[in-house]
Structure 1
């Protein structure tokens, strides 16, 4: 038997050693976001101590088989440590996650896990008695509808949590002692008849905050208010026995769907995958459970509420959450709620707080004598059984001392106290959730932990018949049948093509010989064709040059003298030619004529006479311009500016000008 189990045992130990023990946990208490990277360190536990904490269910023979590779008195296991942590005070979820992610990655110096569990104070836990058969629960949609109705009032009551004092404290604008001083001063003013006194006004009068700080906090208070939207729920069945009777209670939690969607989108925007949403209250129960006491109570003090719950045999049996009013006395509330929670059977009361719980040591000791119960600060994991290799107590496992926190240098309160450490209650919540999610080790499968209500991070997908319309179903079905028909047709066509292929092969062999002969003929033909194209280009070029010489040059040689003679014969005694110019660019057979006349009628008569004269040369006068001006000899007169252009296209002009010049005869006359 041992020979058969040895390979399985070695594989199991290799799996445990190779497993990734890193967890990424995000915590948001309504005012600040913490992003923590939790690892699990190996430590040696004494078997005798473990037997004190957890009852052994196996005999000595099984114990020897499970620890054959270890000594008879020690067992190696793991415990959680917050290795790195980063925080952000940004009120926008996406920006807060981005800032915390960058700081955490910079501190850790390695790639962060993609999966993250989200702990939120917006998720409200409750212990409910529901008229349900635990063996036949309802469908998830019906359960969420029922729990949403039950939790709506509780979530609406959370508006009392976000008092202006809690918000000022949560934003690190005042300290816990300053909040108490403001509450006492507020109570004093109201007792003196000032019933309209407000917490924020007293804080300003005492100089703790400014008006701008109060205005920003009031705006943030409006954003935190419950908006009566759909509630997303999670639930766990807690069954326990008491006095030979079995009780069934449902540990539930609810969060506004709008808030859940906002945070889910923020996580997705920053590249994270949210596995679950867990309420901040009750997370520390697994840290208290590791101390080995079967019956205990936990009291968690936050800035805006106090949560108290009792646990019996790994089940939460009583849960109470009270708001902290702005003018409340924390000591009185703690005394009241601890007295109430210790009425049930419990061996010890564990206390954790957002502030340093050591400040309440004297108060807790006095209260412990009053309620006849041990009240201790929840400050370590398995501190009573952790040992070193030599068996000495390991005192370095305090949840506060093992954390490296990355935060902004400006995150300090008005009093100058630093906020570089994780708050005590937040630290316990992170460790408690890490213990619950740990897959191996003493907090894993071998030891039962306290179940917490897990809220899904997003709405479940609707059923297919509700989410898909007729077109989405019809198109794939049509494509499927089309593929079947196409396959049958392809098989039939393949048989026909095989028969045709045999006939084509023979025809191909015959044509292949002809193609080779045609290829050689085509090569010679293309060669001769290229030579012919070259000769045609040369012939065309020579023809163009001959045409240019015979028509263009000869016609121009005859045109210019005739044109000059025609212009000269059109001049009278009152007109003098200044310039006849042919522009070199953008003009062909166009001439610009500039002249001067003594008076306007002479200028007009010259233009008309010139128009009639050049018409015989197929030219015409365009753009005539007559303006008064001083001539070349300093006499007042009129300047004439005009263009002589051919009447027809250039090609026709070149061919017809020569014949026109030979037939024109101009009668010379003396100037008038």
Structure 2
């Protein structure tokens, strides 16, 4: 990817070819983004400005998507510029950021605390602040106005020499001395805006905050506790968070720029272990603009660190050897010169050779490009690691675990007891409420049953009253109904009487004669006809009754209560008297035969067939 970007930069002379290559690069980056997922923004922030890189590390293998930089002295404006440049490359807007800041100073501190039993975060911060305040004050004093103007790019080395010469001339001529910035303005080397910007930065670097935001990590080294810490003013850390928050970025972690570039990759540690020199000291000399930071590591872990200001002096092997003299006293050691800025690359190779001759140890050098790529790799690894090898600032780690505070544990225990009491009381209240609800439900059911019983009693009472009213009405209507029935029967009988008499006349023969035909409406139903006849023989009497029954059947009448008794005729001749009733068949079927008056008395006997209908 680096070679591709360099090739594009060198081909800008050809406008058409450059546009084609840029289009291809943008398409490839978009394809890579879709395959990798949400990228992470890595920021390198120091006095000279901001450098940024966009990485995709979803699959575990970090992949560089793009790089950008800004010389703006304000972090908010600088981050906005690099985000705009990433958008122009066709890359998405990241949501998370990792920051490597030069203002965040690291140090090896001596704390009377075991690494496996750290104190609460507030106490650890107070202990670390005592060791970090001198380092922060010394770091602020390194930034003279000339160093700031050169770091910001407003002056170069030649211009600084002119200003120094002008100040010397003024002192020799006993002229009114001017401040460094005023002298640069008088020589028209800078503008007032540049001077004001550097004055603000100098005040921010040299005015220490009352509170320091610190991060730490500890381990056991040679059976002794070894603590690594980093710190920065609380105001500056708050400005970083607010600046990124305004742009929609979440600051996941902040690490010190010093130490981070020289941090060894896991593969390098494994290679050193195979050679058997993992216990040898690995000395790194980080060449920053304003100072040289020396770091000593064993087995890839930092065991010591010190720094010394450059103060416009040239880098020399004797000076660097004096900084690391106690570390190079061992028989074997490796030294690495890390060039963090391009202006130091010119003599880095010769300086490494001189240092090799001075110390007698192997000395290597890395150019600015290699150091920048190592910085991105180490920043991504240390920022996302669950247990980092370097101190860092993470919000959740700054707050610390509340359970390590005895007061918090006591409050938690008291809160637990109160919660148990509240839970027991709530349980009792719930049980009481449920009991009251069941009592109220039972009372309501009892009231409903009582009300239903009362309603049932009222309904039964009304039903009984209606039954009595119906019985009374039935008794009142029954005579009328009977009278109506008798009247209907009489009317029907009056209509059928001529036909019945005609049929009786047809039934009379030589074996029987009619004596009388009667209808007594006061004793029997008005529809009944009483017939009395005489026959000389018993068989004749029966034959007469049979003929009558057959004749009247066409009129829906029948014969009932037939009686045949012996009786003399009108002439004194012996014979039998026949007595029976003619009744409508529906009267016989519905209500049975009515109670008829006894037949005429005689000395004869009743026929058994007289009881059934003929």
Give TM-score scaled by structure 1 length.
Answer: 0.50
Q: 1:191 to 1:276 in 2, by over 3 A?
A: same
1:606-625 to 2 correspondences below 5 Å: none
- State the match for 1:435 in structure 2: 381
Aligned match of 2:235 in 245, 253, 258? 258
- State the match for 2:111 in structure 1: 130
CA contact (8 A) 1:28 1:121 kept: yes
**Separation (CA, whole Å) in 2 of partners of 1:102 and 1:506:** 83
**Separation (CA, whole Å) in 2 of partners of 1:87 and 1:319:** 29
Q: 1:127 to 1:474 in 2, by over 3 A?
A: closer
1:639-650 to 2 correspondences below 5 Å: none
- 1:70-101 per-position Cα deviation (integer Å, ceiling 9, x unaligned): xxxxxxxx764542234444444444444444
CA contact (8 A) 1:30 1:120 kept: no
Q: 1:466 to 1:199 in 2, by over 3 A?
A: farther
- 1:364-407 per-position Cα deviation (integer Å, ceiling 9, x unaligned): 2452333334433335xxxxxxxxxxxxxxxxxxx84xxxxxxx
- State the match for 1:494 in structure 2: 437
- 1:191-240 per-position Cα deviation (integer Å, ceiling 9, x unaligned): 95779465435544655323442233223322332234111222222544
Are 2:85 and 1:112 aligned?
no
Give the Å deviation of 1:273: 3.0
Q: 1:428 to 1:503 in 2, by over 3 A?
A: same
Are 2:295 and 1:341 aligned?
no
- State the match for 1:329 in structure 2: 313
Aligned match of 1:359 in 346, 349, 352? 346
- State the match for 2:395 in structure 1: 457
Give the Å deviation of 1:283: 0.4
**Separation (CA, whole Å) in 2 of partners of 1:258 and 1:100:** 24
Are 2:237 and 1:299 aligned?
no
- 1:592-640 per-position Cα deviation (integer Å, ceiling 9, x unaligned): xxxxxxxxxxxxxxxxxxxxxxxxxxxxxxxxxxxxxxxxxxxxxxxxx
- State the match for 2:53 in structure 1: 36
Q: 1:193 to 1:236 in 2, by over 3 A?
A: farther
Note the residue ranges of structure 1 that are not aligned, 5 or more in a row. 1-17, 43-77, 380-398, 401-423, 440-444, 512-672
CA contact (8 A) 1:27 1:120 kept: yes
Give the Å deviation of 1:487: 2.0
SS at match of 2:342: coil
- State the match for 1:631 in structure 2: none
- State the match for 1:11 in structure 2: none
Q: 1:189 to 1:320 in 2, by over 3 A?
A: farther
Give the Å deviation of 1:157: 1.8
- 1:242-269 per-position Cα deviation (integer Å, ceiling 9, x unaligned): xxxx554322111112222222233334
CA contact (8 A) 2:215 2:393 kept: yes
- State the match for 1:160 in structure 2: 141
SS at match of 1:298: strand
- State the match for 2:539 in structure 1: none
Give the Å deviation of 1:182: 4.6
- State the match for 2:65 in structure 1: 83
- State the match for 2:358 in structure 1: 370
Give the Å deviation of 1:433: 1.9
- State the match for 1:271 in structure 2: 248
Are 2:94 and 1:148 aligned?
no
* Residue-pair matches, total: 398
Note the residue ranges of structure 2 that are not aligned, 5 or more in a row. 1-34, 273-277, 456-614
CA contact (8 A) 2:94 2:249 kept: no
- State the match for 1:249 in structure 2: 226
**Separation (CA, whole Å) in 1 of partners of 2:431 and 2:58:** 64
**Separation (CA, whole Å) in 1 of partners of 2:68 and 2:395:** 22
Q: 1:478 to 1:370 in 2, by over 3 A?
A: closer
CA contact (8 A) 1:311 1:317 kept: yes
- 1:28-65 per-position Cα deviation (integer Å, ceiling 9, x unaligned): 214523342224599xxxxxxxxxxxxxxxxxxxxxxx
CA contact (8 A) 1:315 1:451 kept: yes
Give the Å deviation of 1:302: 2.3
**Separation (CA, whole Å) in 1 of partners of 2:348 and 2:283:** 17
**Separation (CA, whole Å) in 2 of partners of 1:372 and 1:255:** 37
Point out the more displaced range, 104-113 or 163-172.
104-113
CA contact (8 A) 1:231 1:257 kept: yes
Q: 1:220 to 1:134 in 2, by over 3 A?
A: closer
Q: 1:180 to 1:80 in 2, by over 3 A?
A: farther
1:573-652 to 2 correspondences below 5 Å: none
- State the match for 1:121 in structure 2: 102
Give the Å deviation of 1:305: 2.6
**Separation (CA, whole Å) in 2 of partners of 1:186 and 1:108:** 50
Give TM-score scaled by structure 2 length.
Answer: 0.54
Structure with higher RCO (Cα < 8 A, 6+ apart): 1
SS at match of 1:321: strand
Give the Å deviation of 1:456: 3.5
CA contact (8 A) 2:106 2:229 kept: yes
- 1:427-469 per-position Cα deviation (integer Å, ceiling 9, x unaligned): 5433222233566xxxxx9xxx981112333752777869999
Give the Å deviation of 1:502: 7.9
**Separation (CA, whole Å) in 2 of partners of 1:190 and 1:313:** 54
Q: 1:181 to 1:108 in 2, by over 3 A?
A: farther
CA contact (8 A) 1:94 1:267 kept: yes
SS at match of 2:197: helix
- State the match for 1:223 in structure 2: 204
Give the Å deviation of 1:343: 4.5
- 1:469-517 per-position Cα deviation (integer Å, ceiling 9, x unaligned): 9xx9999999867754552243124323543258659979999xxxxxx
Give the Å deviation of 1:148: 0.8
Q: CA RMSD in A?
A: 4.4
CA contact (8 A) 1:302 1:425 kept: no
SS at match of 1:359: coil
CA contact (8 A) 1:238 1:316 kept: no
- State the match for 2:540 in structure 1: none
CA contact (8 A) 2:212 2:232 kept: yes
**Separation (CA, whole Å) in 2 of partners of 1:186 and 1:427:** 41
Name whichever structure is richer in helix by fraction: 2
Q: 1:80 to 1:330 in 2, by over 3 A?
A: farther
